[in-house]
Structure 1
């Protein structure tokens, strides 16, 4: 119950923030979109145009579907409330100091690696469900299989690549984080650039993935409880 509540709240907040940026872009208010973007991700919005902001939102929706929703459900199913709280603590720590910086280089590196470990199962489940739930399963599978490993993050790669293929858009490329520029490989290079309308499409895909993940988590938790109860009964009988 706690995991489901946490995940639902995370998914609702994610969709709300993404749609707020999309609404600003749709109204032609680039300044408002730039002001709202930091609520979703840590990129520097000032140098971004409409297409780049839309791309940043779609990428953030994809990654946060894994981090804020599916990953929480996975760890809630595996370890209950302690697993859920521990996962979110690691995820928050990585968001705060995980990016490379001289001040937090060693501590940030450790936080990022720990986040990679705990985020691994949720990212794979998110990617798989995006392939199944997306409008183009074949395209999602093709791009995810081909491009996921090209991403510098072992967890963001599968998720963003599967979303890129499912939505038929091109993700990745040059990113700016507080004065630091990264040139990442393009995911789904054969697809078209992201448009403002794709923000809503990404939010809807995120919601479908989240609902499927909730079903998987509930089923997994139920099966786990049955197996534990059987083991306990056998132990008591044997004793």
Structure 2
């Protein structure tokens, strides 16, 4: 089973890089529709309702993963195929790179209106009044955060818990994106989803920052800058996890991130991370390449960790 899981993780990473997201009938989109239906039934302005909502959806999804993995145990090949398909479905590396590349091209061409419209594919920030530097900064921060959330973290949980880990993590992360907001409507109801996502990302976020430092030289970045900025600036970020890799990206690319950040429901004054110049279109492109390298390295490390655990078990 360990060999099948390791092979499946590597194949899933390769499938995501080569094929991108499934073009039709994406399971994550189907989960989102189920979650929306459940929200209409269960939503109350209370934390207990949110705990029930989150527990049912994340627990139910992980339980499906347990069933699938038990069936797959009958054959190493079936185990590898099941893990590979699940990994491919839950990873978001290719779509993240595609959106980042599109933003880089729009900014490089000076098409700010196009970039403002495209930013919604990466994050929920208010883009109407952002200039080129603001759009570039938002894009780099989103690429960094999603490298941790949509690439590193699922692979970590896949290595630890196989198919149930992959599915359970992606369910929790999706719910956080849907209801884990600080808006009045979700402040209490979305509390459980947000806190669960924070807990599941504590270790992966810090691993992501370390990998950012290790991989920075591949894209002409600074390993020492990434490490220094991560250790110095990450803790000031309002998120216990997003600031880890955002600070590391800032140091790796030798730019400044953070500052005034406007969402539809609130405005935040985030701490400045890094030093030097502000981000531009070229930094968006380098950020995309750094994200790709981190994803590939994480896939190899996840598979190696599975094999090592299996060897110790024997």
TM-score normalised by the chain length of structure 1: 0.92
Asked if structure 1 preserves the Cα contact closer than 8 Å seen for 2:183 and 2:265, the reply is: no
Equivalence for 1:178: 264
Q: Tell me, yes or no, if structure 1 residue 141 matches structure 2 residue 210.
A: no
Between the aligned partners of 2:151 and 2:101, the Cα distance in structure 1 is 17
Is residue 2–residue 81 contact of structure 1 (8 Å, CA) maintained in 2? no
Contact 1:130 1:162 in 2 (8 A): yes
Question: 1: CA distance between counterparts of 2:178 and 2:198?
Answer: 15
Offset of 1:179 from its aligned partner? 3.8
How many angstroms apart in 2 are the aligned matches of 1:55 and 1:3?
Answer: 32
Aligned to 2:123: 41
Shift of 1:73: 0.5
Q: Deviations over 1:47-69 (max 9, x none)?
A: 11111010000000000000000
The correspondence of residues 1-239 of structure 1 with structure 2, limited to 5 A, is: 1=7, 3-4=9-10, 5=12, 8=17, 9=20, 10-134=92-216, 135-188=221-274, 190-228=275-313, 230=314
Instruction: Return 98-107 or 54-63, whichever deviates more.
Output: 98-107
CA pair 2-95 structure 1, distance change in 2 beyond 3 A: farther
More moved, 158-167 vs 177-186: 177-186
8 Å Cα contact 1:43/1:176 also seen in 2: yes
- Answer whether contact 2:9 2:303 (CA < 8 A) is retained: no
| Structure-2 separation of matches of 1:3 and 1:112 | 26
SS at structure 1 position matched to 2:257: strand
The answer to whether the Cα contact below 8 Å between 1:61 and 1:202 also exists between their aligned partners in 2 is yes
Stretches of structure 1 that go unaligned for 5 or more consecutive residues are 231-239
TM-score calculated relative to the size of structure 2: 0.70
State the distance in 2 between where 1:124 and 1:2 align.
24
SS in 2 for 1:162: helix
Distance in 1, Cα, partners of 2:8 & 2:148? 17
Q: Deviations over 1:162-219 (max 9, x none)?
A: 000000010111111114111110101x221001110000011111111111111010
- Distance in structure 2 (CA, Å) of the matches to 1:55 and 1:44: 13
Paired residues of 1:67 and 1:119 also in contact (CA < 8 A): yes
Structure 1 runs of 4+ off > 3 angstroms?
Answer: 1-4, 6-9
Gaps of 5+ in 2: 1-6, 21-91
Match of 1:236 in 2: none
RMSD over aligned Cα atoms:
1.3
1:34–1:53: 8 Å Cα contact kept in structure 2? yes
